[in-house]
Amino acid sequence: MYHPQHRLRLVALLAGLFLFPAAVPWAEAQTANPPRTSAAYPDPVRFRQQMEYGLIDQAKEWLDAGLPPDFQGDRIGSGLMIGAWEGNIPLMEVFLQRGADINQVNGLGETALMHAAWKGHREAVKWLLARGARVERPTLQWTALHYAVFAGHSEIAELLLDRGADINARSPNGSSVLMMAVYEAKEDLARWLLARGADTRIRNENGDGALDWAMKFNHTNIARMVATQEE
């Protein structure tokens, strides 16, 4: 289910520390939804709630009535994105079969793959990748790998790297994947990323790199690892 405290923690962190593009109110971000022309269509709140509950028959009923497959709820995004957030593969299948865009973004620039990676749903990540979900995005955008590392899901991070994700992908302000592990004090993940070739020299637009953050946040062991790598 959708847990506001989890969402707010991520969005607030990205908005405040990493200069995430302005977190617009969801109502203003709903540009993908067409005007409602049928009483059978749900409002965005009800849509999100029913899809979180995994009510597949309700989803089919709405789609049969003409609901666009990429219709977005008041939180998370489309039905396919909600399925990814919940790890509900049958729900994702319904929307994909009806024409949903597997790489659609929500009002915060997030994709279904990013949601599945953030929530740690390995099978959902594999399902999305097998059906064309892109691991890479245009330069200076958040990626599923950023989200997996930030949330501490090492198995998903490994899966994404094995499928071609860029270990040195950079966020909108240039923060690296390694910097996500540093910020969250994910020592094992930081060690693993360094072993896989993560570049410690990357700096964001504020001039900060992985070592700067490790020292700033008193993550001593990680600071030693990064410093050793830079020697």
Q: Which domain holds residue 48?
A: 4-134
> pTM of the entire structure?
0.87
Q: How confident is the model at residue 230 (pLDDT cuts 50, 70, 90)?
A: confident
pLDDT over 60 (residue 39): no
Q: What's the N-to-C CA distance of the chain in angstroms?
A: 45
Residue 177 in 3-state DSSP?
A: helix
CA 55-57-60 angle, to 5 degrees, is: 115
H/E segment holding residue 212: helix 210-216
Tell me whether residue 70 is in a domain: yes
- The answer for residues whose C-beta is within 8 angstroms of residue 138's C-beta and 6 or more apart is none
Token readout for 78 is 């489309």
Tell me whether residue 98 is in a domain: yes
pLDDT in tens, 50-107: 999 999 999 999 999 999 999 999 999 999 999 999 999 999 999 999 999 999 999 9
Burial of 120 per CB tally in 10 Å (0-12, 13-18, 19+): middle
Alpha-carbon distance of 113 to 111, in angstroms, equals 5
Token readout for 40 is 């059978």
Tell me whether residue 224 is in a domain: no
Contact between residue 122 and residue 88 where contact means Cβ atoms under 8 Å apart: no
What mean pLDDT is predicted for residues 19-35? Answer: 42
Query: Hey, which bits of the chain come out as E strands?
Result: none
What pLDDT does residue 23 have?
35
Contact between residue 112 and residue 83 where contact means Cβ atoms under 8 Å apart: yes
Q: At what angle do helices 112-119 and 122-130 cross, to 10 degrees?
A: 160
The two most distant CA atoms of the chain are separated, in Å, by: 65
Instruction: Work out how many domains the chain is built from and give that number.
Output: 1
Tell me whether residue 164 is in a domain: no
Q: How many helices (H) and strands (E) does the chain have?
A: 14, 0
Tell me whether residue 230 is in a domain: no
Q: Which of 124, 171, 110, 119 is nearest to 148 (CA)?
A: 119
Contact between residue 179 and residue 209 where contact means Cβ atoms under 8 Å apart: yes
Tell me whether residue 57 is in a domain: yes
Tell me whether residue 221 is in a domain: no
CATH of the domain at 119: 1.25.40.20
Tell me whether residue 104 is in a domain: yes
Phi, psi of 40 (to 5 degrees): -75, -15
- Judged by average pLDDT, the poorest of 38-47, 65-74, 108-117, 146-155 is 38-47
pLDDT in tens, 121-149: 999 999 999 999 999 988 789 999 999 99
Instruction: Give me the residue label for tokens 């003409």.
Output: 66
203 DSSP β-pair partners: 209
